[in-house]
Chain A
Amino acid sequence: MENPVVMGHKNIILISSMLLLFTFTSAFGDQGIAIRAGHILTISDNPIENGIILIKGGKIEALGQNVVLPEDVRLIDANDKFVIPGLIDAQSRLFVMDSELDESRTIAPELNILDAIDPFIKEYREVLAQGVTAVCVAPGSHGLIGGRSAVLKLNGSKNIDRMVLKADATVKAAVGMSTGNTSSSLARLEHYSSIREALIATKVYMQTKEKADREMAEYNRKKAEYEKKDSGKETEKKEKPKRPARFRSSPASDVLAQVLRKEIPLQVEAHRVTDILNVLRLADEFGFTLILDKCTEGYLIADEIARRKASVIVGPVSTSFVDMPRLEYRNHDMSNASILSKNGIKTALGVSGRDGASSKFITLAAAMAAANGMDKDAALRAITLTPAEMFGVADRIGSLQVGKDADLVILNGHPLDTQTRVEMVLIEGKVVFERKSQQ
């Protein structure tokens, strides 16, 4: 028999037991969390019905239907709920002031978005509350090569170093952007040739540097030999080797050299068919890893993109997300993502909103892509694992797999449903958001 008094005070007891658990957790630090969930959408593998996710040390330790619960674990009951990996907005403006994003019309790959991050921007809490745990922020959508992007976690840290999941995720460029509603074909031609010139110059730079390195090594060898002989017989004294001219390294060229060595992908914003084709031609010529950004008219030349094995970040899915539609969006079509992904192109989705707070609509973007023909699972992958793969962070985030960071979201329904609410968000095993009952 249950005590009626206990029944009446169930809530209080629940709260106090939760408090106890919480104290316990903090007191013992790494005691472990387990989530018992109705539907686990792993993204990388098949969904798991009625499974358990075991978290230890901020990582997913075990996952499946037959996970044995350790005794001293904090159990989160999500029996009738969905669990998904933390969402990623691949085209975010979070933590960055608008005016700090654009050094227009310059080739400035040495700029780093991390130098413009403001961790105190409050909007991040609203974004987090919608299940977004990581964002990629990139500089410059107005001119040429804007700088290096970064993947940040929304873990609430005010220490930028702790927010960064990956620095130098991509080098961001933009071609064919109009100013206002006017567009000059000549200006667009110039964008293309300026970037090409910069890449050719980088090739020369790399060769010069290689030569200089070789000469320096040769000099060092000769010098060592000379000094050795110097200490030996004086009669065989040779001429002292001449030090080669010092090589002047350039931070900008060093970054572009990394692009040409395929160490950092080049993320190029291009909207119109001609601009996209120009970028594909650059990729053919220089062989870098290409991520097409925005790619508004990509659906018209999906075969060309697929042939080059370029990946694409589509956004905005709907012009609802942007300001007064610019000229670039003239042939915007909501089916873009669907068509690209059906052509076998690796397609991520971004919000590409006007403001940092827009990132909270990432599931709306995915739902709209699904409405226009994209498979629902593909749409979910496009806001989780696909961007993680593009940015080279799939070993840490993007799916629910053993060994990955425990960044996950608990929802009371399917993530693409309007009426679904986020119940809880965890980053590296820590509860960073929990919905109040009346919210």
Chain B
Amino acid sequence: MKKIVLLSILILLSIPCCMVKAADAPENLAIRAGRIWTVTDGIITDGVIIIKNGKIQAVRKKPDVPAEIEVLDFSDKDVMPGLIDAHCHIGLSLDIYSEIDETVLAVTPDMQIIDAFNPLADDVKKVLRSGVTTVLLAPGNKNPIGGQTAVVKLFGKKTKDRVLKRAAGVKFSLRDEALMPDRRPTSRAGLLALIREELNNVKAYKEDKPDLRMEVLKSVVDANFPVYISTYTVDEITSAVALVDEYNLNAVLIGAEQGDEIADLIAGRNIPVIYSPLLLFSRDKDLKRVVNMADGGIKVAFSSSAPETSLSDLRTSAITAVKYGLDKEVALKSLTINAAQILGVSKRVGSIQRGKDADLVILNGDPLQPTSTVEMVIINGDIVYQRQKI
């Protein structure tokens, strides 16, 4: 009996010791690279990135590294910031289509998608090889006013390392999927009427009678809390723009497949677009749309809309857009810093700059060539994927 007690005490004592030790361990690492695609500061050839405690401490051309720092030598490789998938539904459930939408109610702005996120889910671990390090998690398209989106990393030891934004904005859906035969709205016009009704109710809302849904919508109308509006066709996009004008919304468009037809309308209001994945069976005309939108002055980010496509297809979307005429620099920004700015997390991710999180992707060539592949992925200074030679 005594022995057991002693053992338990020992175990109890040792746990905090181990934890302290892990947190205190010096996390210094240097990466020597043939080319560093900083995104915000051009390409540095034969440079080095010094990482300290998960942050980028220095990016420089001279490859002198203090002796005590471990060096990963990628002198013949390319390093870029972690890719950002600006719209997906991973880690949310086993049967994804049944659990990302709240189908009984039409209006659920108080629902937070982060509550359904499992960072250890198989589909999250599996996509680390894609080079994507940060994603926007979003509810589906079945609610006119859906739940709140979140910005998370695919890896992180602690919640604060992993979750960049618990609540990044409210998702609206103007798509057909938001119409249901057995509840309001059942028509396109009814859908817009319902959204207006809800936003108008904010004016009459009294805080002495707290209502979570109204609180959220109030912050949308009064405090610039972002709305992510999912649209596809020209008329849906036009409706979204009308809402933005009427309620002075801080909006981001998701999808907006036909946005190039009214690019001036979108660009004129500085509404950014999180574009749908470029599908490798689309007609040339559709593959050129995202190019036309970027050329029309719209800030664009790419997305996988996983599980519609895989996160591994994110870079393929950008490569395909380049093939169809998108400027390479714009394509690179769309995968990184533009997405970070659209999601409001550019202070931490999106480029290789001093002070930002050490989220890096190492490739065996130009990131926008299909002949290049991801060799290693680093999130917060931790190596989370390394390509195995089979």
Contact = CB atoms under 8 A, between A and B. Distances in A.
B98 interface: no
Interface string A317-341: 0111100110000000111000100
A299 B364 CA distance: 22
Contact of B280 (A320, A325, A416): A320
Contact of A319 (B281, B310, B320, B373): B310
Interface stretch (A250-258, A274-282, A361-369): A361-369
A320 B309 contact: yes
Nearest to B322: A418
Interface in A287-343: 299, 318-321, 324-325, 333-335, 339
A339 B323 CA distance: 28
A351 B280 CA distance: 10
Nearest to A419: B322
Interface in B124-166: none
Contacts of B281: 353-358
A319 B312 contact: yes
B371 A416 contact: yes
B26 interface: no
A357 B282 contact: yes
B370 A416 contact: yes
A324 B306 CA distance: 9
Contacts of A325: 310
A370 interface: yes
A386 B282 CA distance: 27
A361 B279 CA distance: 11
B370 A371 contact: yes
A418 B319 contact: yes
- Residue among B283, B309, B323, B372 facing the most chain A CB atoms (10 A cut-off): B323
A112 interface: no
A416 B322 CA distance: 13
A353 B307 CA distance: 17
Contacts of B323: 364, 418-419
19 contacts: A299-B390, A320-B280, A320-B309, A320-B316, A324-B307, A324-B308, A333-B390, A351-B280, A354-B279, A358-B281, A364-B319, A364-B320, A367-B371, A371-B372, A372-B373, A417-B371, A418-B323, A419-B323, A419-B328
A367 B320 CA distance: 12
Interface residues of B, number: 27
Contacts of B309: 320
Contact of B390 (A339, A364, A367): A339
B217 to A, nearest CB: 34
B156 to A, nearest CB: 26
Query: Which 10 residue pairs of A and B lie closest in terms of their CB atoms, listed nearest first?
Result: A367-B370, A355-B281, A371-B373, A358-B281, A320-B313, A354-B281, A320-B316, A367-B371, A370-B371, A371-B371
A356 B370 CA distance: 21
A23 B220 CA distance: 67
B143 to A, nearest CB: 23
A128 B279 CA distance: 19
B369 A417 contact: yes
Contacts of A358: 280-281
A416 B369 CA distance: 9
Given A371-B370, A418-B323, A418-B369, A357 B283 contact: yes
Interface in B199-247: none
A10 interface: no
B371 A123 contact: no
Contacts of B328: 419
Contacts of A372: 373
A435 interface: no
A194 B308 CA distance: 35
A282 to B, nearest CB: 27
A418 B280 contact: no
Interface string B358-375: 000000110011111100
Nearest to A439: B325
Given A333-B390, A358-B281, A364-B370, 7 more contacts: A123-B283, A321-B280, A364-B320, A371-B369, A371-B373, A376-B371, A416-B370
Contacts of A367: 369-371
B284 interface: yes
Contacts of A321: 280
Nearest to B314: A320
Contacts of A77: none
Nearest to B370: A367
Contacts of B313: 318-320
Contact of A318 (B279, B282, B316, B322): B316
Given A318-B312, A318-B316, A335 B390 contact: yes
A354 B390 CA distance: 29
B373 A418 contact: no
- Residue among B320, B368, B371 facing the most chain A CB atoms (10 A cut-off): B371
A100 interface: no
A299 B368 CA distance: 27
Contacts of A357: 281-283
Contacts of A197: none
A361 B280 contact: yes
A118 interface: no
A30 interface: no
A126 interface: yes
Contacts of A339: 390
A129 B284 CA distance: 10
A334 B370 CA distance: 12
Interface in A367-402: 367-368, 370-372, 376
B368 A418 contact: yes
Nearest to A414: B371
A208 B369 CA distance: 58
